[in-house]
Copies of this chain bind each other. A is one copy, B any other.
């Protein structure tokens, strides 16, 4: 049984980290049993054994792996006979590009949309840490960085442009079936859905139909997460 340290909000069952969602979907894809341990931003001691200050962290027997990308690569290496997240060096490199883009483009744009929702949902003991660390990164107050919600939403939708033609041609970012790139993008949407009522996509958006397909995987595992519903 694999243990996953999973970021939680004030309520234990609201698990909103996009990176932990990547790890959970990757574990599901591999068909591996796992249990999650709720973790808060300020509980650095609880994961000190991993050498990391952030989650996801997994413990698999005597092996400890931190960082969502490292976890994906580890799972494919440690369990080669199970379905691959990324089959071969070309898919690893192209998927890495996809996640580098996701972090810098739509996920950053989405952060502006949901930042204040996240702040509201996190544990009281995490609030000072969250405000201080993020305001240092942004160089301004949270409220100021978030800016105008309508503009932020429009920027997020615009940032998704390059993925739309791909999802018109393919059922998944990874082609015929889901792969790690799909979990990268889904992680971003779960991050929002767990904390924010904002309707991110119009139903006629090809990304909307793709999201439905990924939410249906593994008996609706991601859809069942505590969060706001996906609006029709």
Within the oligomer, what is the number of copies of this chain?
2
Q: Which of A89, A92, A162 has the most CB of B within 10 A?
A: A162
In the assembled complex, 9 residue pairs joining A and B whose CB atoms fall closer than 8 Å, in A order, are A91-B91, A91-B175, A93-B169, A94-B95, A96-B166, A97-B166, A100-B165, A100-B166, A101-B101
Within residues 160 to 178 of chain A, which ones have a CB less than 8 A from any CB in chain B? Answer: 161-163, 165-166, 169-170, 172-177
Decide if B163 touches A100 in the complex (CB within 8 Å): yes
Question: Is A179 on the interface with B (CB-CB < 8 A)?
Answer: yes
- Among B89, B94, B103, point to the contact of A98 (Cβ < 8 A): B94
Docked complex Cα distance between A162 and B101 (Å): 5
Question: Is A150 on the interface with B (CB-CB < 8 A)?
Answer: no
Besides A101-B162, A105-B162, 19 other A-B contacts (C-beta < 8 A): A87-B90, A89-B170, A90-B179, A91-B94, A91-B175, A92-B175, A93-B172, A93-B175, A94-B94, A94-B95, A94-B98, A96-B169, A96-B170, A97-B98, A97-B166, A97-B181, A100-B162, A101-B101, A103-B162
Q: How large is the interface on A (under 10, 10 to 19, 20 to 34, 35 or more residues)?
A: 20 to 34
**A85 CB, min distance to chain B CBs, angstroms:** 10
Docked complex Cα distance between A139 and B17 (Å): 42
Interface string of A61-98 (1 = CB under 8 A from B): 00000000000000000000000000111111111111
Question: Is A104 on the interface with B (CB-CB < 8 A)?
Answer: yes
Q: Which residues of B contact A103 (CB under 8 A)?
A: 162
Closest to A86 in B: B90
**A127 CB, min distance to chain B CBs, angstroms:** 31
Interface string of A166-205 (1 = CB under 8 A from B): 1001101111110101000000000000000000000000
